[in-house]
Amino acid sequence: MPTDFKRVRYHRPNISKLSYHIEMKALQDSMATQISDVAAFRIHVITHYYKYGLRATLDAFNLKQSTFYDWKWAYERNYRRVIALVPKKTIPKAVRRMETDWRIIDFIKQMRIEHGNIGKEMLKPFVDAYAKELGIKTIGTTTIQKIIKRRHFTFEKKVYPQKQKNKFTKLRTRKSPKVQRPGFVQMDSIVVYVNYEKYLFMCCIDIFTKFAHVVCVDTLSDRYTLK
């Protein structure tokens, strides 16, 4: 590496470890009210208590005494750090697990292997009969669907319909030839409504000479067009 290359160096402040730890805790406490609105409200309630007393605080914020003392105990127990008032996670530590007899799980797997990807509604009568034969409690359609999904009991590949190609070739030309002499005629029909009455017009034009002719007709059938 060349000597003139600018390198960035990061250093810890030139203070003791205890002072650095105290400053980081103070910074964390100052940011707690910005992170959590609940912590800001709780520290406001506790500050009001230190200034005006317990009864005024409970009446002003409509709190229970036990709830307030929980906040106050957590705040003072952690050396009056605001971070202690931030609500903790409410995720349950022990989550209920689905417990199903392994024989029923193996039966569903074998049915899906032998008979394809049959659904939960079709499997339910067979599972009920098999559980009754074993003398155990049966399971519902929702549990069957969970077993299929969580254990990946999909053994038959899905076949998607393929789009069939058109076997007949188009007779139309993509680009019309350049007209060099008279005789190439274009025809079209127009429908006009005047005062709720229908009028049919047949229009034709020679492409080369630009000579056009319009006729009011009774019908737009092919036979009339040839005439």
* Each residue's pLDDT tens digit, 57-110: 999 999 999 999 999 999 899 888 888 888 888 888 888 888 899 999 999 999
* Each residue's pLDDT tens digit, 116-143: 888 899 999 999 999 999 999 999 999 9
The answer to the question of residue 178 being in a domain is no
The answer to the question of residue 106 being in a domain is yes
**pLDDT at residue 139 in the model:** 93
What is the Cα–Cα distance from 69 to 76, expressed in whole angstroms? 10
The answer to the question of residue 12 being in a domain is no
Spell out the residues 6+ positions from residue 187 whose beta carbon is closer than 8 angstroms to its own: 202, 203, 204, 225
The answer to the question of residue 213 being in a domain is yes
**What is the span of the domain harbouring residue 106?**
102-150
Q: What is the tally of structural domains in the chain? A: 3
The answer to the question of residue 4 being in a domain is no
The residue out of 129, 150, 171 marking a domain boundary is 150
The answer to the question of residue 66 being in a domain is yes
Is a pLDDT exceeding 70 seen at residue 176?
no
**pLDDT at residue 96 in the model:** 82
The answer to the question of residue 157 being in a domain is no
Residues 146 and 108 in one domain: yes
Residue 77 vs residues 69, 74, 160, 162, 214: alpha-carbon distances, Å:
12, 5, 65, 70, 100
The residue out of 35, 52, 85 marking a domain boundary is 85
The answer to the question of residue 21 being in a domain is yes
